[in-house]
Chain A
Amino acid sequence: MNCEQMQTLFSPYLDKMTNDVENEAIAEHLGECELCAHKLEEMGRICAMLKNLDTPQLPINFGESLHNRIGHEKIKIFPGSPLGVPKRTGWIAATVAGLAISAGIFTSSYLPYGAMVASLQDWMNKDNRPHIAVVDNNKILQDWINKHTEKVQTENGDQITNPAGQTGNETPGTTKPGNNTGIAPTITKPVQVALQEKVEQNYTAKIQVDDMDKSMQDVMQLAYASGAQISVKSANVMAATTENVKVVTMQVPKDKASALLSELGGVGVEAPLQNSVTYTEAYTENQKALANLDENIQKLQSSASLSDEQQTQLQNLLKQKQDLQAKQERIDKAVDSVTIEVRLLGKD
């Protein structure tokens, strides 16, 4: 290796970047070549001086100037704050808000807005609302018991199941599945034999209920739907028991009575629906007079021969009978409503 080749190793040799073989070759060469030894020493001195060159101080305003420039660059590079990913609390808040909104929507679908609106309309038209009266409970109940006792016993004491209904074309109340009371109601309509003779028609129904308010609401809704005039009576103490009772009395148009009775069966009727006919005094007298007339007419007609006086009497009796029958028809026609009493029996 000549001197020129050897001198190319001086630089890495000074930086300790030569291997052992190179180091040995350099050492051997330096022992023989004084010029190369001088060159190596000179190069080492130059490197040392380069490390200690005098460098001017950083300008005082360097940092400030750079700060201003970076500020301008930031506007270009970061024109807006990037949208960060919400933290955990943000997600939790969003979830809670979503659940609250969902619950609100779900609940609102079940709120009785329709009933609220209907109540508001009723209040606005309160003059047209059915009259509801709360009266002395004990007195009403006692009257009802007395009346009930009277009504059940008709003149001839007969009670039969009415398969055809009482109002002609309308379908009578039939058995319907029980409601929440679990009682399958059996509605039996006892009717008086002499249908044509009734002047007032009354029905009574007992309903055993779990939820008095709900059942009362059901009954009232049915009554309103039938256009009934309603009165409500409450009783906390019944004569014989301690049952909580509410009595709803309805005056129902004759043509809607049967349908309403049928619907009430759906509410749940515990006792057989009882029917009774009340006779007015005038009607009773009219009936008696008619019976007497019939009796007298039959006597006269059964005679083999009648005198002229008897013939005249018979004609008069027949004419009186016609008048009484006409009067009875007028009374019957005057009856255009049916009274239904519904007794709701609470369990406690």
Chain B
Amino acid sequence: MNSDQELVKRTLHGDTYAFEELVKTYQNKVYMLAYRYMGNEDDANDMAQEAFIKAYRSLRSFKGDASFGTWIYRITTNVCLDELRRRKRKIAPISLDEPLATLDGAEIEREISDQSLAADVIYEKKEFSQNIQLLLDEMKPEHKTVIVLRDVMDLSYEEIASVLDCSIGTVKSRISRARIILQKKLTERELLN
């Protein structure tokens, strides 16, 4: 029995300190995963905490077939994707051309900032990371998920299949498709030279 399973067992006997040991082991990766899904620090913080709380509540369902890491990544993924879907339903589509109404009845024109990325900041790590994050946010969740799990989190195909509860073949084709889409976006926006 590895240390993770021992800590899980102790947690199930009411030892919260054991669970906090698990948190310390995985909190950085869970937070990074949540950040890539959510795109900002506050949401990443909330979702990472929510993922750990959900894991704590449903720890009895953890059978130990996969590693605790894979299990907490799956929870984090589901928590984040559920939240993103919930938000997508709530946000009503608006027309960018429609003028904004002010309190005094006057109308002002919307000032839309140019989201396109300048080519001179591509290789600046911070800027590139922010731009990549914007591109990831534009992608479908299924593509975004495999890019994050494979290229950001560096999980193997087997681990990704376990997290997403699908076959390795599905993972392989989904990663391939996602990378081609991402590459196309980067090329279109001239973020690669």
> Does B19 lie within 8 Å of A51, measured CB to CB?
no
Q: Across the two chains, which residue of chain B brings its CB closest to A81?
A: B14
| Given A53-B129, A66-B23, 20 more pairs with CB closer than 8 A | A8-B177, A39-B183, A42-B183, A42-B187, A43-B179, A43-B183, A46-B179, A47-B151, A49-B132, A50-B132, A53-B132, A54-B126, A54-B128, A55-B32, A56-B35, A62-B45, A63-B23, A63-B27, A70-B53, A73-B57
A52-70, CB under 8 A of B: which get 1 and which 0?
Answer: 1111101100110111011
Instruction: Determine the distance from Cα of A12 to Cα of B36 in the docked complex, in whole angstroms.
Output: 22
B186 at interface, CB cutoff 8 A:
yes
Task: Give min CB distance, B58 to chain A, whole Å.
Answer: 10
Task: Give CA–CA (A77, B157) in the complex, Å.
Answer: 35
Q: In the complex the two chains form, is A49's CB within 8 Å of B128's CB?
A: yes
A55:B35 contact, CB within 8 angstroms: yes
Chain A residues with Cβ below 8 Å from B128 are 49, 53-54
Contact A11 B179 (CB under 8 A): yes
CB neighbours (8 Å) of A43 from chain B are: 179-180, 183
Within 8 A of A (CB), among B20-74: 20, 23-24, 27-28, 31-32, 35-36, 41, 44-45, 48-49, 52-53, 56-57
User: Is B16 part of the binding interface, using a Cβ–Cβ cutoff of 8 Å?
Assistant: yes
Which residues of B have CB within 8 Å of A32?
none
Q: How far is A74 from B128 in the complex, measured between Cα atoms in Å?
A: 42
Interface pairs A-B: 8 shortest CB-CB = A50-B151, A11-B176, A54-B129, A53-B129, A11-B179, A78-B14, A55-B32, A58-B31
The one of B53, B173, B183 that contacts A66, using a Cβ cutoff of 8 Å: B53
A11 contact set on B, CB distance < 8 A: 172, 175-176, 179-180
Give chain B nearest CB distance to A1 CB in angstroms: 14
Contact B176 A8 (CB under 8 A): yes
Can you spell out 5 A-B residue pairs with CB atoms less than 8 angstroms apart?
A: A8-B180, A12-B176, A52-B125, A53-B125, A67-B20
Cα-based distance from A12 to B129 in the complex (angstroms): 24
Q: Are A51 and B152 in contact (CB under 8 A)?
A: yes
Which label, helix, strand, loop or mixed, suits the secondary structure of the B interface? helix
The answer to the question of B137 belonging to the interface, with a C-beta cut-off of 8 Å to chain A, is no
CA–CA, A150 and B52, complex, Å:
113
Please state if A73 and B56 are interface contacts (CB–CB under 8 Å): yes
Task: Tell me whether B79 is interfacial, beta carbon within 8 Å.
Answer: no
CA distance A62 to B30 in the complex (A): 12
Whole-angstrom distance between the alpha carbons of A258 and B109 in the complex? 138
Known: A43-B179, A50-B152, A63-B27. A71 touches B129 (CB 8 A): no
B27 lies within 8 A of A58 (CB) = yes
Asked whether, in the complex, the Cβ of A62 is within 8 Å of the Cβ of B49, the reply is: yes
A183 to B152 alpha-carbon distance, docked (Å)? 107
Instruction: Flag whether B147 is at the interface (Cβ < 8 A).
Output: yes
Closest to A71 in B: B16
In the bound complex, residues from chain A placing their C-beta under 8 Å from that of B41 are 56, 59
* B138 within 8 Å of A (CB atoms): no
